[in-house]
Amino acid sequence: MLVRVWPNWKTRVKTNPLLVILTTSHVLFAMFLGELYALAPDEGGYLTTFNDVYSLPINTDAQGHSGWITAPTIFLWIVYLPAKILNLVGIPGYLSVRMLSILLTVFSAYLLLKVLKQDGVTSKRVSLLCIAPFFIPSVFLWTSLGLRESFIITEITMILIGFNFIFQERVRVGLTLIFIGSYGLISTKTYLWVCVEIAIFMTCVILFKRIRLRKILQISFAAFALPLIIFASTTSQYALNFILQSNISSAGGRSGDSISRVEVLESLTGTTGTTGTTGTTGTTGTTGTTIVTFHGDYSLVALRSYIESNPNAFATQVLNFFQVDNKIEAIWNEKIEIALLSEEKEVGSSNSSLSGHILNPGRISNPPSMLKAAFRFLLEPSPFGMNLGFAASVAALESPLWCLFYALVLFSIFRWRNNKIFRDPPVILAIILILGIVAFSALVEVNLGTAFRHRSILVAPLVFLYVRLHEINKNGYKVAS
């Protein structure tokens, strides 16, 4: 069945220049980074999970090092198998995991480009607009690294495309994709799985008179019942307790602060230098050491540490060539000076400088706070924001790209004077899912860096929505009930 849907898969990928460019650029970037984890400190934890999960005796200790804490071990065995094979033939573990992420990302892009079209022809302009969001810097970064974002994007894409197939009378393939995507998503990130289930339920309720009951039952079994049964029977009791005891209130009540402590040299004659984490620089006179606490700016701390610890690494040499290391050192010294002048020896906290990395989540009882938090999730960090840290200032440069992306999708929606598209189940599902992810994020995101990373998963439903609307525009509104 899959062969009939995607004939000559290898040939199509090889001859599609956009996918070739996406793959090549991802691989080169992943290799360029080497063992630099400063851009995503969590990557080290995921690598530890990958290295330990195949070890005997079988247990769930490996998941405790990363965000895979609730994932069944058998699920990790399956999804990490391609990376494990690469690792066994001599590719370093960190690069093997990154290659898996890249493979998943390219597969998602391939599905969005090729599977949704009806007549076998997609314009170059539309193809380019479908692939372009994957090159948004943050999306490109997270999907190049060994994190969960590529898994989530692929799982959501499979669910949306499976849903679309069902209403094109490709029921078996559609249900298969929905099941695989749903089981993967509940194993990867439970709250997103809940968002998808709510979106599917609301879509079926809104269009109840237009969807056959048999089809609703099939979707419910593939998307909800079967994945939940298999997940509950394969994950650990600890994971089940963790999920059942979680709630939105406690998630939104977490501290959004991220803290790093480094030892620095403090000159007793007035001149200061720093040890950072690995060495000393610029000291004169008699000196002593003190601990400086960074609130936020972990990437600055980690990146500077990497440069000092790996002076001969290729990434370090490139940063030196473009004098990025000098810029980092200047920012570092400025922040250290602020910290040493403060009584608490802190920088980035509310009593030394404004802590722009901490977010106040919205509350359901206060709709304006929800709207404000949703706006922050979608558009921040803003290039016009104040008191941004090092990483947030760099991240803010891409906000205009997200604005253009949102505008493209909104234009595709509002260009339709005929409201038939709002009777299309895949369109309704994508819209509700986007709104659900944004609303949930507005309630639970407490850290700017984390929210910035989680925003990348919107690529899947947004691109799907754009492609589906283009398909309707090109071929007319045709959907089976």
The tens digit of pLDDT for each residue in 43-80 reads 988 998 898 888 766 655 666 677 888 888 889 999 99
Reading the block at residue 43, the tokens are: 């990557």
475 phi/psi in degrees, rounded to 5:
-115, 0
Listed range (44-58, 429-443, 460-474) with the worst mean pLDDT: 44-58
Percentage of the chain surpassing pLDDT 90?
Answer: 38
Q: How far apart are CA 327 and CA 340, in angstroms?
A: 20
Q: What is the pLDDT of residue 250?
A: 54
* More confidently predicted of 464 and 394: 464
Q: 322: how many CB neighbours lie within 10 A of its CB?
A: 9
Average pLDDT of the chain to the nearest whole number? 81
Angle of helix 149-166 relative to helix 425-444, nearest 10 degrees?
A: 150
Express each pLDDT in 190-220 by its tens digit.
989 999 999 999 999 998 888 889 999 999 9
Q: Provide, for the chain, the percentages of residues in helix, strand and coil under a 3-state DSSP scheme, each rounded to the nearest 5.
A: 65, 5, 30
Percentage of the chain surpassing pLDDT 70?
Answer: 77
Contact 39, 299 (CB under 8 A): yes
Q: What is the pLDDT of residue 363?
A: 84
Model's pTM, two decimal places? 0.85
**For 437, left (φ over 0), alpha (ψ -120 to 50), or beta?**
alpha
Output the CA angle 100-101-107, nearest 5 degrees: 90
Q: 254: how many CB neighbours lie within 10 A of its CB?
A: 12
The mean pLDDT of 157-184, rounded to a whole number, is 93
3-state secondary structure of 291: strand
Q: Of 294, 269, 283, nearest to 345 (Cα)? A: 294
Confidence band, pLDDT 50/70/90 cuts, at residue 330? confident
Residue with tokens 């700016």: 297
Residue type, 463: V
Beta 272-274 vs 259-267: how paired, if at all? antiparallel
Q: What is the pLDDT of residue 419?
A: 59
Helices (runs of H) and strands (runs of E) counted in the chain? 25, 4
Contact 60, 236 (CB under 8 A): yes
Q: What is the pLDDT of residue 118?
A: 54
Q: Of 225, 159, 224, 170, nearest to 6 (Cα)? A: 170
Rg (alpha carbons) of the chain, rounded to whole number: 24
Checking if the pLDDT of 355 tops 90, the result is no
Checking if the pLDDT of 157 tops 90, the result is yes
Residues 6 or more apart whose CB falls under 8 angstroms from that of 423 comprise: 207, 210, 477, 479
Q: How far apart are CA 434 and CA 237, in angstroms?
A: 31
Q: How far apart are CA 205 and CA 137, in angstroms?
A: 38
Q: How far apart are CA 106 and CA 108, in angstroms?
A: 5
